[in-house]
Amino acid sequence: MPSYRAPIQDINFLLNKVFDADSLFASMPATEDVNAELTSAILEEAGKIAEGLLAPINQSGDQQSCQFRDGSVITPDGFKEAYAAYAAGGWAGLTGDVTYGGQGMPKTLSALIEEMSFAANSSFALFMILTTGATLTLSQHGSDELKKRYLPKMYEGTWTGTMCLTEPHAGTDLGMIKTRAVPNEDGSYQLTGTKIFITAGEHDLAENIIHLVLAKLPDAPAGPRGISLFLVPKIMVDESSELTGERNGVRCGSIEHKMGIKASPTCVMNFDNAKGYLVGELNHGLSHMFTMMNYERLSMGLQGNGLADSAYQIASEYAKERVQGRAPTGAEQPEAMADPLLVHPDVRRLLLTVRANVLAGRSLSIFAALQLDVSRFHPDAEVRERAEKLISLLIPVQKAYCTDRGFESCVMAQQVLGGHGYVAEWGLEQNVRDARIAQIYEGANGVQALDLMGRKTVRAKGELLALLSEEMDGFVAQQDGVAAMQPYLDALLSCRSALSRATDFIIDRSASSPAEIGAASYAYMELMGLTLYCYMWLRMLATAHGELSGDGAENRDYLDSLVKVGEFFLARQVPKAQSLLAEIEAGSETLMALRADQF
């Protein structure tokens, strides 16, 4: 089984050449010291950790899994040592607020590190991203007292974080939650209720776990408007950020037995008069939690993409070495009994599809992460607001489309190996199992599609899509007159035309038929995802051709390979836009015709 290799060359090409992140960071005072030299050094080191620390305990962690004993969770062998090294390296506070001991690095940088970590060991990566999301939410919405007391230890990695949303009867519909928060005289609250599917809710990696919990006061308004957010520590903490030794009223009741990510504990958490502290304003908990949710949803797309990259590495190496059959044009290795798998067009179809989607997904994730950084750091309020609007459109697509393509890519890579792909030895069956959850958690992909179609498109009357169109128009205008790019521009035009037509169709039809929104939502998300991947590939192709046109172009063979993969994507994937448009325009009638009792 090939060892995981961090895709540093791809990452540096995208970050520094395609997106010129160096210039963007330099334009924002909070990130002006973040340059290409610094990011390259950090990414190189993160790649070494993924390769040398996380990947070696990935398969063993899956086989051993987490164990639940008397209310405690024991992580697999090697996880405690790996986490200690991760915390000692300062990685937990990479994007943290410098006021409280964080390093203030941009999300774009941590996103790329997350992708490598997910590729190497998805179960371990989940411990990391939950703490990052929790600290971000606390830093943006918590009081100065809470930030001072909890953030430094979380940035050190001494304490970890979670988010506690889902309840046994309330998944996506959080307005139905029953967890209650009763005010105390000292300003704290007593929380009682049960939360399920809580990643890293209990474990033995850190000395304390800080839960961010959604709950309602007894007199809160009904539905989502009555939800508040609370910080609930596992072990109580004094004013000096030291553990008091007093165990709070929060316990893990059990852990789930799952299809994948078995080395990450998915917990049932019981809150029994647990002391908590309000984060932000009363009855604004859902909006506060969405700070964390947007980052976590981006991370899920990165999980899908990382596992797809890991799967591609295994499958491409296998296809180069495994000999089966003969090339359709005649034997390429007549001295051998057979030719390598790569001579077969269908094997190439599988591998090229995976590689093209991995590169486009990584590119889209960087594009979305850069918008998150602009919304957080840019000194111009109008620029920040524009970035926030773009984020609201991009995140549901990036989460859903990247995880769909990620799972699909793992299955395709598994197919390359045939029977070997189905057995545990090669690791691809674990990738398939681990990738599957990314389509479900942090809002299942159908919910993401409905959010995109309903709130972000129909209710916004296409305003957010217009902002994305401006981005694309600006790029196309830059390519006017660039001879090498002219053969590619029609592909983007085809996608955008289909997307525009689909948008107008749904906005018009939904006025008289509300079911049209849900009927069209998934195909619409797929169409927008395909359009964004096409746009990402055109940006990569423009950069590659620009580099190749220079006399001293470095990595010419690498750039040539990018051009060939991009041309494959435009030729073989973009035509799917028309079938997605046809699906949308088929309307809701056939979906809604079957009575419930006929299912």
Question: Other CB atoms closer than 10 Å to residue 586's CB: what's the count?
Answer: 13
Instruction: Show the 3-state SS of 478-508.
Output: HHCCCHHHHHHHHHHHHHHHHHHHHHHHHHH
**DSSP letter at 597?**
G
The secondary structure of 311-350, three-state, reads HHHHHHHHHHHCECCCCCCCCCCCCCCCCEHHHCHHHHHH
Q: Cα(235)–Cα(248) distance, rounded to whole angstroms?
A: 6
At residue 532, the 3 state secondary structure works out as helix
Q: How far apart are CA 344 and CA 320, in angstroms?
A: 11
- Here the contacts of 419-426 (C-beta below 8 Å, separation 24 or greater) are 420/318, 421/315, 424/59, 424/63, 425/1, 426/1, 426/314, 426/318
The dihedral sign for the CA sequence 380, 384, 385, 386? positive
| Residues present in the chain in total | 599
CA distances from 547 to 18, 373, 482, 537 (A): 11, 27, 13, 15
**β 189-199/180-183 pair status:** antiparallel
The DSSP annotation for 370-388 comes to HHHHHHHH-S-HHHHHHHH
How many angstroms separate the CA atoms of 139 and 295, rounded? 14
Tell me if residue 20 falls in helix, strand or coil: coil
Q: 169-203 in b/e burial notation, b at 16+ Cβ within 10 A? A: ebeeebeebebbbeeeeeebbbbbbbbbbbbbbbb
Active-site residue list: 442
Paired sense of beta strands 180-183 and 243-247, if any: unpaired
